[in-house]
A and B are shown apart, each in its own frame.
Chain A
C-alpha cells in the first residue's frame, strides 16, 4: 500500500474509532488525543510493516492502550483520588458489549455535530472538525492555516475543553437542535472548502488540500444523510466550484475571472456529478440556499462561453436565493446578472443601497463589482477609481494583483482607432 493509500484509509477509519472510544469511555478530550497518537503510530508503522488485517481494530486497541496507560499512571500519582474510582467502573463495567454498538458511521455524524458545538468559535469548530473527523494531524492543520503548530495545538485543546465544559455528551442533538446544528456543520464545511479554494501555488499547496478535505467530508455527510437536499446542494456547489480549479489561475498564479477562463480545462466529471446531484435534490427537496447556489453554478457550467450564458435563468435563481436567504452579498452577485440581462446601468442601480449597508459598505467586493459594471457601462475613469478602491480594500494578494491590473489596463492611453477624438 502506498503512503497515500494508508493515509486515506487511516482518515476514513479515524472518526469511527474515535466514536467507539468516546461511546465506551466518555472523555472526548482524552479519547481524541489517544486516537491522534494511534494514527501517528499507524502512519509510521503500517507503510513499513504492512497494513493489519483489521485496521479499525488495530487503531482501537492502540488508542485504548494509550488511554489505559494514561489512567494507570495517573492513578499511581493520585492514588486515593475519588475521580479515579468513579472513572474506573465507567471503563470496566459500563462499556457495552461490542455487538450492541451502533454502526460506526452513525458515530461519524455524532462526532461532526459535536465538533460544531455552538459553544465554540468558528475557527475552533473548523480546527476540531479537521482533526477529530478529518483525521488530519495538528501539524497539517497548522500548515494549512499558516500558523505555528503550537498555536493550532492550543486551539484544539481549548476547543475540546469547551465542548466538555458545555456538558456536551456523545449523543445526537435533540430533534429540535438538530436542524440548527446541521446548518452549522454545513457552514463549517463550506468555510473549510473556501479556505482551501485559493490560488494553488507555492506555499499555498497545503491550503489547497483543505478543499479536497471539505469535499471528502461533505461526501461522507451526504452518504449519511442522503435525504437532505441542502447537504446534496452543498456537495454539488463544491464540486461545481472546484471544477474550475485548473482554469481559475494563470501560469504565474494570477486569478483568471470566470468570464475569461478556458472552459475546456474545467473538470467535466466533477461538473456532471454536481449537476446530477443538484438536479435530483431540487426535484424532491424544497429549495434551500446551497441548492440554489449550486443551480447557478450549474447554469454557468453548462454555458459554452460567458456571452452565451443563460443570464435570465441565473437572474431568476438569484431572485429566488435573495428570497430564501436575504443577504447583501447575494445582491452583489445578483447585480452582475441584472447587468447582463438589463444592462450595466440597471446593475449599478442595484448596488447603490449597499453603500449604506454596514455589511457591504467599504467592502472590496462591492467596489470590484461596481468597477466591472462601470467598465461595461463605458466609464473607464470611474471604473479605474473603483478598481483601485477595491484593490486597497482587499486583504488578498492575488485579488489585489488582479484588481490593480484591471485598473492599470483602464489607465492605458486610449487606442486612437477605437476612440477618435
Chain B
C-alpha cells in the first residue's frame, strides 16, 4: 500500500535554528531516508523551494490566471513529500512520527495513494 507523507512547516523555520541544531535536523532526515531505502519502502520524495517562489494558477475572469505566491495564505506551507510503500498505515504513521519537522512545530499528513487495482463488487 502506498502512502504519501506530506510535509507541512513554517517557511524559514530553520533560520531560527543554531548551526548544530540544523546539522542534527539534516542528520535525522538522512538517517530516516537511509533506513527507508535499505528496507525497500522508499518510493520517492522531493523537497520544494521556498513558497515565495510559487506561482498559482486559478480561474480569474473566465480564464486561467497566474498570481505570485502560494494558493493558501497560511502559516504552515507544503514543503515537500515522501512516498512510501509499506505493509500498513500504522507503519506509515510511525515513519511520519519520526520526521523532525513534527518536533519543530510542523505537521505531516499521511495520505493513502489511490490504486489502479479494483476488485469485483
Contacts and interface: CB of A to CB of B under 8 A. Distances in A.
B19 interface: no
A151 B85 contact: yes
B95 interface: no
Contact of A397 (B38, B40, B85, B115): B115
A156 B120 contact: no
Interface stretch (A91-99, A103-111, A398-406): A398-406
A171 interface: no
A255 B117 contact: no
B60 interface: no
Contacts of B112: 395
A199 B117 contact: yes
Contacts of A228: none
Interface in A259-305: none
B43 A151 contact: yes
A395 B43 contact: no
A397 B87 contact: no
A396 interface: yes
Interface string B18-50: 000000000000000000011111111000000
Interface residues of A, number: 43
A148 B55 CA distance: 30
Contacts of B1: 395
A150 B38 CA distance: 10
Nearest to B111: A395
A155 B39 contact: yes
A411 B5 CA distance: 35
B40 to A, nearest CB: 2
Nearest to A397: B114
Interface in B61-87: 85-87
B90 interface: no
Interface of B: 1-2, 37-44, 85-87, 112-121
22 contacts: A122-B87, A123-B85, A147-B43, A148-B44, A154-B37, A155-B39, A155-B41, A156-B40, A158-B38, A158-B39, A199-B116, A199-B117, A199-B118, A248-B120, A255-B121, A257-B121, A395-B1, A395-B113, A395-B114, A396-B119, A398-B118, A399-B119
